[in-house]
């Protein structure tokens, strides 16, 4: 297992719609294991594969002791919303804003062995699923902000020196991604564009 480098906003992989997983082999098992270890290392609530440079539809989650992963997730959201809660994102360090999310969701998909899975979620877990699933469609939570929050977020992102953060992170986690999913072919893009 390995701790992977987390991609920061500005990296094009975060804006790319991820591809479905078709091969449930040892490489996928390694990816899920590495993502889980990385998520634990940074004490994250969730991690989507594009965040470590792999454009595949995979995310891991860890909320209130409930930990897992979903391959090729499909969400069925409730019609109503939960109360807004502040979200952050490992790919947008230092920022947090309240985000509107559906109250509940049911995620269906597959586990690492290709077995179908289905998880019903409310509250924080439902929020996490929606946040991570957005990553697989190239969407960041700041895209979902409106009004003054959106302006403030875009301003912060513009002013942040994410290039130096990326360098620090890279130095701190000087290990190779070593993925044959093609993740290492994505370099750091222009910093500070929130799209």
Residues that bind Zn ion (CB under 5 A): 89
Task: Give the separation between CA 119 and CA 193, rounded to whole angstroms.
Answer: 34
- The CA-based angle 101-115-34, given to 5 degrees, is 70
Task: Give the separation between CA 83 and CA 76, rounded to whole angstroms.
Answer: 19
Q: Least distance to Zn ion from the beta carbon of 70, Å?
A: 15
For Zn ion, the closer CB: 46 or 113: 46
Task: Give the separation between CA 145 and CA 154, rounded to whole angstroms.
Answer: 10
- What the block records as the tokens of 68 is 């897992």
First CA to last CA distance, the chain: 34
Q: Least distance to Zn ion from the beta carbon of 187, Å?
A: 20
Q: Least distance to Zn ion from the beta carbon of 72, Å?
A: 19
Residue 67: active-site member: no
For Zn ion, the closer CB: 42 or 66: 42
Catalytic-labelled residue, pool 132, 146, 148, 167 = 132
Active site residues: 132
């Amino acid at each position: 297992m390995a701790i992977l480098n987390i991609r920061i906003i500005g990296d094009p992989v975060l804006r790319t719609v991820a591809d479905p997983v078709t091969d449930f082999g040892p490489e996928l098992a390694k990816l899920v294991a590495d993502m889980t270890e990385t998520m634990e290392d940074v004490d994250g609530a969730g991690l989507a594969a594009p965040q470590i440079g792999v454009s595949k539809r995979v995310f891991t989650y860890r909320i209130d002791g409930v930990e897992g992963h979903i391959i090729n997730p499909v969400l069925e959201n409730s019609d109503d919303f939960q109360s807004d809660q502040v979200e952050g994102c490992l790919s947008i360090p230092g920022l947090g804003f309240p985000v509107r999310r559906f109250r509940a969701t049911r995620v269906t998909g597959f586990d690492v062995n290709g077995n179908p899975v289905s998880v019903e979620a409310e509250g924080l877990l439902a929020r996490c699923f929606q946040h991570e699933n957005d990553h697989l469609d190239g969407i960041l939570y700041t895209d979902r902000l409106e009004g003054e929050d959106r302006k403030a977020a875009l301003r912060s992102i513009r002013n942040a020196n994410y290039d130096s953060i990326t360098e620090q992170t890279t130095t701190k986690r000087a290990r190779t991604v070593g993925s044959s999913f093609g993740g290492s072919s994505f370099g750091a893009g222009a910093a500070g564009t929130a799209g």
